[in-house]
Chains A and B, each alone.
Chain A
């Protein structure tokens, strides 16, 4: 009956066994997710070089539309999925499905994203690799027969390895997985995630070499620079808020269009293509222009740069809002770099005598500020910028801008772009939160079946006998014929008649029961049930399934279960 599935592990002590399995699984996932990132990087490079000669032709502006359209069609017909940046899907899976993700998600987004970005769509490659890595993690965890807690950790491993591989940034991968995906920092999560991140990075380095994406010069950072970078926070926070709101508005506008999804994507792509005629820098992931800024060789003047901030935001919101496939990380970096440069140019214009730390310095800070603000994950922003630029000499300023900018934008846009949709649907359930605990408990677990059910035609005398034998105050009334719930008798309502034998034969239950009692359904989730308790002020509610009475839920039992769930959630 109890088959030994892995005789080797059987002999190891339990926890060593668990940790070792997690680590082995994390290593497998790290390599898998890393390969996914490499694959996407290669296809982006390939696609870019194939399409580059056509950019200049008359039909160049049509390319983004064609790419995005093909991506959506492939996604729809080959993989039966829809567009969007997709990180919320991973978070939803972790919140509600114990980290289950479909296997096909490990390739579908990669293909779609490669087409979207290579053709010129303004988006980043990181969200698709996160989904891909997470899906590799989820399915590998299933192979290892893991439970939900372990599978969630391995999904985090996939995300971590993917980010680490795509940016050649191992620490960012770890921090991103913990801060943005898993949402809690525990040693049991940290070890496998770190291992996956390291292996993901190594896989990427094996193919691409250990390149730092944006090499920079060493900056001489004075106290004055540090002080002025506080002013930059205003701009990065503003750019981030604008970005988040524009993306939301664009999604709303596109969803209002009566046309079907293909037309929408095509329209978005056309608009991006048109924008690309004027400002070709906004097309694609935008790493080239970012590199120029950091190296301090981006020439245009302050006004054009200011326009670029807005244009890049517009291009990204058009691409993603219309249903294109891609992430927000890379666009955030580009917007941030432009914002920083804009600020620096402004400073130079105002105080031409001061020797500022350089365009690259403010570009870096802008990248950290905008990224930290848009995804509301300051640590991810800090580590990302540190690792992709190697700019550890500006660490202090980067930290300062990232945390201040995240805080400031939090006042306007409190939720991460990844979280807001889930929060709106009340589906973002972070570990150890009230909502999480409640959502885990099902009605079946708190259902009380030891209740006396009475028929509506029962006489008061008979009811008194039921009361004598019961230890409850609520008596659900159920129709004898069809078994439907018709009302409820609360002992308090009839207490005064119970001791009046003259009424025993003349009054029937129907005449003193409460009708129209608020009820909950068997499928309801606990947060909704608690809301109903609050609205009605009652202590016990009947649970119905298609009108048939199943049992009661009561506040006191809920407290009991809630507390135990809370105790059980504490990890070891």
Chain B
């Protein structure tokens, strides 16, 4: 008995039917047809279901999971697994482990800066108007909801000022935005005027680093790298006469290399 599913329907697509016929004719010959892409191995199934391989093997043996018995191991049909998981309320891990979509473990400030870009002459004379103008001009991905982002940024400012002193503020949304680019983005903005951000040192703010990332740990690492540079008086001076994002990236990379700061954490 090779089948093991409890499914009511099986996908009998054209390809499947042909592959079955072929196999019926030449048993034991591995098919390199369309069906191969639908059939997945045991480790792949384990990854898709997010469970250990031992568990997948046991479930297949016990007949809980629809599986095909191959010599000494099991193979699975992706479509059957999907239907099974849906029926049993088990969530499939949709993305494969190494996708370009996956966030890198260690954020890179230069990469995030490149993604975020540099905006100058942001108008506005208070925090909401400045942030509104910023959000309107930020290079966000198409699926971004700008209104929602502005709201989250303002919520965060209400909670506590993001002004870190020396005329710098680091606005970021209170709850991470799920559509943020996986590598994170930091948009540098130079304001047209000076705005009171209620910073700790009381000085008005003229430069913003708007930080977006998908999760808190990533955000913290990025923040830690940025504040490492911001502590340096010469970097602040450099920022005031900043003309392009390329300049800034080069400067950040240079300082990074010079100080040997592989990690963004404080030395």
From known contacts A148-B61, A149-B62, infer whether A14 and B3 are also in contact, taking CB-CB under 8 Å.
yes
CA distance A129 to B89 in the complex (A): 41
- State which residues 30-57 of B face A: CB under 8 Å: 30-31, 39, 51-52, 54-55
Q: Interface segment, B63-71, B142-150, B228-236, B254-262?
A: B63-71
Q: Which of A2, A98, A569 has the most CB of B within 10 A?
A: A2
Whether the pair B62, A445 counts as a contact (CB closer than 8 A) is: no
Whether the pair B23, A21 counts as a contact (CB closer than 8 A) is: no
Q: C-beta contact mask, B1-42 vs A, less than 8 Å → 1, else 0?
A: 111111111101000010010011001101100000001000
Whether the pair B1, A146 counts as a contact (CB closer than 8 A) is: yes
Whether the pair B59, A4 counts as a contact (CB closer than 8 A) is: no
Q: Which of B4, B28, B30 has the most CB of A within 10 A?
A: B4
Whether the pair B5, A4 counts as a contact (CB closer than 8 A) is: no
Whether the pair A147, B7 counts as a contact (CB closer than 8 A) is: no
A411 at the B interface (CB under 8 A): no
From known contacts A3-B71, A147-B63, A568-B90, infer whether A188 and B6 are also in contact, taking CB-CB under 8 Å.
yes
Measured as residues with beta carbon below 8 angstroms from the partner, the interface class of chain A is 35 or more
Q: Which of A11, A13, A98, A561 has the most CB of B within 10 A?
A: A13
Q: What residues on B are CB-neighbors of A537 within 8 Å?
A: none
Within the complex, the shortest CB–CB distance from B44 to chain A, in Å, comes to 15
CA distance A440 to B55 in the complex (A): 9
Whether the pair A572, B63 counts as a contact (CB closer than 8 A) is: no
Whether the pair B63, A145 counts as a contact (CB closer than 8 A) is: no
B98 at the A interface (CB under 8 A): no
Q: What residues on A are CB-neighbors of B241 within 8 Å?
A: none
A17 at the B interface (CB under 8 A): yes
Whether the pair A10, B23 counts as a contact (CB closer than 8 A) is: yes
Q: Which of B20, B59, B64 has the most CB of A within 10 A?
A: B64
Whether the pair A570, B9 counts as a contact (CB closer than 8 A) is: no
Q: What residues on A are CB-neighbors of B5 within 8 Å?
A: 14-15, 18
From known contacts A145-B2, A146-B1, A567-B89, infer whether A15 and B70 are also in contact, taking CB-CB under 8 Å.
no
A144 at the B interface (CB under 8 A): yes
Within the complex, the shortest CB–CB distance from A195 to chain B, in Å, comes to 17
Whether the pair B54, A13 counts as a contact (CB closer than 8 A) is: no
Whether the pair A7, B90 counts as a contact (CB closer than 8 A) is: no
Q: What residues on A are CB-neighbors of B87 within 8 Å?
A: 572
Q: What residues on A are CB-neighbors of B64 within 8 Å?
A: 149, 568-569
Whether the pair B27, A150 counts as a contact (CB closer than 8 A) is: no
- State which residues 114-149 of B face A: CB under 8 Å: none
Contacts A/B (CB < 8 Å), 26 sampled: A1-B28, A1-B30, A4-B24, A4-B27, A5-B27, A7-B27, A10-B2, A14-B5, A14-B66, A15-B9, A15-B10, A18-B1, A21-B1, A98-B61, A145-B69, A147-B4, A147-B60, A150-B1, A150-B63, A188-B6, A442-B58, A446-B52, A561-B55, A564-B51, A568-B88, A570-B88
Apart from the given pairs A148-B61, A572-B7, 18 other A-B contacts in the complex at a CB distance below 8 Å:
A1-B28, A2-B68, A5-B27, A11-B17, A13-B12, A14-B5, A14-B66, A15-B10, A98-B62, A146-B1, A147-B61, A188-B6, A445-B54, A445-B58, A561-B51, A561-B55, A564-B55, A570-B88
In the A-B complex, the 3 residue pairs with the closest CB atoms: A572-B6, A147-B63, A149-B63
